[in-house]
Amino acid sequence: MPQPRYDVVAIGNAIVDVIARADDALILSEGLTKGSMRLIDAAEAQRLYAAMGPAVEVSGGSAANTLAGMAALGHSCGFIGQVADDQLGQVFTHDLTALGVAYTTPPLAHGAPTARCLILVTPDGQRTMNTFLGASHLLEQRMIDEAMIANGAILYLEGYLWDPELSRAAMRRAIDVARAAGRQVAFTLSDAFIIDRHGDDFRALLNERLFDILFANEVEICALAQVDDCDAAIAAIAPLVPLLVVTRGEHGAIAVRDGVRTSVAAEPVATVVDTTGAGDLFAAGFLSGLVRGDTLDRCLISGAVCAGIIIAQIGPRAQSDLQTAVAARLG
């Protein structure tokens, strides 16, 4: 196999986040589950937006956030995802390419507008996400740049894309392309509701040994393993994937490889401002270490540093220098 041009190629939702501060009363009156993500249609997006306070717009999307973090950490990256030919699509495209990420998926000319995620951030820093997928869920298999995938050492996929039928087919094809090219496939479970709907599919993929790296949080790994206990869930899933990474919020993170567990504590954060992107940036820091050939404990610390930076600010794209912070922590 030729040397890959990209450290990571990711496929994910192409979303602009619309982030507003909200009090707990709004979460309650809207009947939302704090900390979760739900999909909404255009009408609901319009209604909820009108009920929200003033917002800021920041590019988002789970895998795209991870890629933005990796690019900021100095890695060569490629992104595949569907925006529309509109102002928010231009914003998303700019913010990714300005970091040096290769992003060439043509915008959708007609149909749906660029996806947005209405995010309510409560005073405890917790984020509750309401995603209008728009153009993003119209990512077709023919839009997948197979040459780019074959050119990435790691293919990184987000579980969110399993939900729309079109993009699910595209993901399956992308996995085949990556494996045929001898590349690694990393997968993040994204959210418990995705596992509720597509857990059987994920378990089948794991049983086929199609994933090389799996990212999950505690809730997700339990949902995937269909058990209540996190340790039992890790024990059940770890044999199915060469490298399992489980984030545990304020309790740190665990990696399991070859039956060996490595764990680290969370990095100290003065004030949790907004947890949006915490898992995405953890993955960025972790993968960055992995690509550099670091030991797993250092990969985990690198992930924890990036997650710690992102939850101390508004939005999932780092406003400060990740590279310096990680280097300072790891020495």
Under the binding rule (CB under 8 A), the answer on residue 38 touching a copy of itself is no
Which stretch in 174-182, 241-249, 312-320, 322-330 sits in contact with a copy of itself by CB under 8 A? 312-320
In the complex with a copy of itself, which residue's Cβ is closer, 33 or 320? Answer: 320
In the complex with a copy of itself, which residue's Cβ is closer, 79 or 187? Answer: 79
β-pair type (102-103, 77-80): parallel
Three-class DSSP labels, 22-35 = CCHHHHHHCCCCCC
Under the binding rule (CB under 8 A), the answer on residue 87 touching a copy of itself is yes
Please pick, from the candidates 48, 58, 129, 291, the single residue that binds a copy of itself as defined by CB under 8 A. Answer: 58
In the complex with a copy of itself, which residue's Cβ is closer, 101 or 240? Answer: 101
Are 38 and 130 spatial neighbours (Cβ–Cβ below 8 Å)?
Answer: yes
Residue 280 CA to its chain's centroid (Å):
4
Under the binding rule (CB under 8 A), the answer on residue 88 touching a copy of itself is yes
Containing 322, the helix (H) or strand (E) segment is helix 322-330
Task: State both tokens at 115.
Answer: 């996806």
Site string for a copy of itself, 92-111 (x = CB under 8 A): --xxx-xx------------
Please pick, from the candidates 28, 29, 33, 53, the single residue that binds a copy of itself as defined by CB under 8 A. Answer: 53
Please pick, from the candidates 2, 31, 54, 268, the single residue that binds a copy of itself as defined by CB under 8 A. Answer: 54
Ordered DSSP codes for 142-157 = GGS-HHHHHTEEEEEE
Under the binding rule (CB under 8 A), the answer on residue 118 touching a copy of itself is no
Vertex 185, ends 295 and 37: CA angle to 5°? Answer: 95
CA distance 188 to 139: 18
Task: Give the count of alpha carbons within 13 A of 28, CB side only.
Answer: 3
Please pick, from the candidates 315, 316, 325, 326, the single residue that binds a copy of itself as defined by CB under 8 A. Answer: 315
Which stretch in 24-32, 45-53, 161-169, 173-181 sits in contact with a copy of itself by CB under 8 A? 45-53
Under the binding rule (CB under 8 A), the answer on residue 30 touching a copy of itself is no
Q: How far is the CB of 219 from a copy of itself (least distance, A)?
A: 29
- Each as own residue / partner, the long-range contacts of residues 174-178 (CB below 8 Å, 24 or more positions apart, any chain) are 174/11, 174/80, 174/144, 174/146, 174/149, 175/205, 175/210, 177/144, 177/146, 177/149, 177/150, 178/149, 178/150, 178/152
Residues that bind a copy of itself (CB under 8 A): 18, 20-21, 49-50, 52-59, 68, 86-88, 91, 94-96, 98-99, 113-114, 314-315, 317, 319
